[in-house]
Amino acid sequence: MRTTVRLHDSLLERAKREAARRGTTLTRLIEQGLQMVLARPGGTRLRSRISLPVCRRGGGALPGVDLDNSVATLDRLEGRE
């Protein structure tokens, strides 16, 4: 099916370069992008996994600090114990 889509010039140029880099057509690149967006429920965003640093020196939270209680932790940090 043919249709007309209006794209900003700079976006179109980037898309053309990306399609060429991938060895595919602009049409196929647009189809893949639409399929990805439509497959995600309710506009949820993809997020990359992060890796948190782990201290192996010992220690930990101060006595009486419950890291599962964010309100109490914030109160303690702000001096409202």
* Structural domain contains residue 16: yes
* Structural domain contains residue 59: no
pLDDT given at position 22: 96
* Structural domain contains residue 51: no
pLDDT given at position 7: 92
* Structural domain contains residue 71: no
Q: How many domains does the chain contain in total?
A: 1
CA dihedral 31, 37, 39, 40 (to 10 degrees): 170
* Structural domain contains residue 76: no
pLDDT given at position 43: 62
Its domain, for residue 25, covers 9-42
* Structural domain contains residue 13: yes
- Interhelix angle 9-22/26-39, nearest 10 degrees: 100
Q: Angle at Cα 14 formed by Cα 12 and Cα 20, nearest 5°?
A: 100
* Structural domain contains residue 65: no
* Structural domain contains residue 34: yes
pLDDT in tens, the chain (81 residues): 888 989 999 999 999 999 999 999 999 999 999 998 888 777 667 778 888 887 778 777 777 778 888 888 888 888 876
pLDDT given at position 44: 65
Which pTM value belongs to this model?
A: 0.49
